[in-house]
């Protein structure tokens, strides 16, 4: 299966600081990556779609100026949580889209990043 | 709008086959059925997907009814490591845009020793 990594796996920061999370597709190129957030005992919620070389598309209610996404290469997308506050504490998960044929594709997920804002 | 309906929880004895149902009565002709699972505090793991034919891989089998309104994921010999939340998701193929995966609440499968 395809491998997607995330770094860091866990981060604790002070309120008001910014945190950058990296998502890498290790053995395939991904023109499209996705960022999700998961709060305790809830399901995954899509935050944004990241396309290589273009601006990200954010879901309704997600602040694009707070959650900065950069997809500068076919194997790397980054999510920066700017001026983090305790309510931003969550489990952030990325996925990378891999075409498996002309008619279908599959998203492979990273292991997630646990963000705790004090 | 919920596109799929799954039971909230199921138990299965270790070594037995686990059969996880999913209803997707409003599925469109260009939509695939995807299955993922999430073990506690990890990212979701891709299991299998299909359009209308039954599919099998090293992890599981996917049985889709002829009318495509429901499907069943089969884990042939469940182990304790299969304990997870299983998500059934319908999504158009890549040529039809909308590549998003919308996660519902899934089925919490517990494998009993």
Q: Which residues of B touch A91 (CB under 8 A)?
A: 41
Query: Which residues in chain B have Cβ-Cβ distances shorter than 8 Å to A102?
Result: 95
pLDDT at B65 over 60: yes
Q: Number of H helices and number of E strands within chain B?
A: 0, 9
Does A32 sit within 8 Å of B103, measured CB to CB?
A: no
Q: What residues of B are in contact with residue A46 (Cβ under 8 Å)?
A: 100-102
Q: Assess contact for A93 and B82: CB atoms under 8 A.
A: no
A79 vs A94: CA distance, rounded Å:
9
Contact B44 A109 (CB under 8 A): yes
Q: Does B79 have pLDDT greater than 70?
A: yes
Query: What is the rounded average pLDDT of the residues A14-23?
Result: 97
Top-confidence residue, B21 or A100:
B21
Distance (Å) from the C-alpha of residue A95 to the closest C-alpha of chain B? 9
pLDDT digits (tens, 9 = 90+) for A48-104: 999 888 889 999 999 999 999 999 899 999 999 999 999 999 999 999 998 877 777
Mean pLDDT across chain B: 93
Q: Is pLDDT above 60 for B2?
A: no
What distance in Å separates residue B76's CA from the closest CA in chain A? 20
User: What's residue B93's pLDDT?
Assistant: 75
User: Which one has a higher pLDDT value, A52 or B39?
Assistant: B39
Mean of all residue pLDDT scores within chain A:
93
Helix (H) or strand (E) holding A97, with range, is: strand A90-99
Question: Of the given ranges (A33-47, A74-88, A90-104, B94-108), which has the lowest mean pLDDT?
Answer: B94-108
Contact B105 A106 (CB under 8 A): no
Chain A nearest CA to B49, separation (Å): 8
CA A103 vs CA A27, B10, B41, B50: distances in Å: 21, 33, 32, 11
On the question of pLDDT at B109 being above 90, the answer is: yes
Establish if A92 touches chain B: CB-CB under 8 angstroms: no
């Amino acid at each position: 299966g395809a491998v997607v990594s995330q770094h860091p796996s866990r981060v604790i920061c002070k309120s008001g600081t910014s945190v950058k999370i990296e998502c890498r597709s290790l053995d395939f190129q991904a023109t499209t990556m996705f960022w999700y957030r998961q709060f305790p005992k809830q399901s995954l919620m899509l935050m944004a779609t990241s396309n290589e070389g273009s601006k990200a598309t954010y879901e309704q209610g997600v602040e694009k100026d707070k959650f900065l996404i950069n997809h500068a290469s076919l194997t790397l997308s980054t999510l920066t949580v700017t001026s983090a506050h305790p309510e931003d504490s969550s489990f952030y998960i990325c996925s990378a889209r891999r075409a498996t044929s002309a008619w279908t594709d599959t998203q492979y997920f990273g292991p997630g990043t646990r963000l705790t804002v004090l | 709008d919920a596109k799929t309906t799954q039971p909230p929880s199921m138990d299965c004895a270790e070594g037995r086959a686990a059969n996880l149902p999913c209803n997707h009565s409003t599925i469109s002709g260009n939509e695939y059925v995807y299955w993922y699972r999430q073990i506690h505090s990890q990212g979701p793991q891709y299991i299998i997907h299909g359009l209308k034919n039954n599919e099998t891989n090293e992890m599981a089998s996917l049985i889709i009814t002829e009318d495509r309104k429901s499907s069943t994921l089969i884990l042939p010999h469940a182990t304790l490591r299969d304990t997870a939340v299983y998500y059934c998701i319908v999504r158009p193929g890549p040529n039809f845009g909308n590549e998003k995966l919308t996660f519902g609440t899934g089925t919490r499968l517990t494998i009993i020793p």
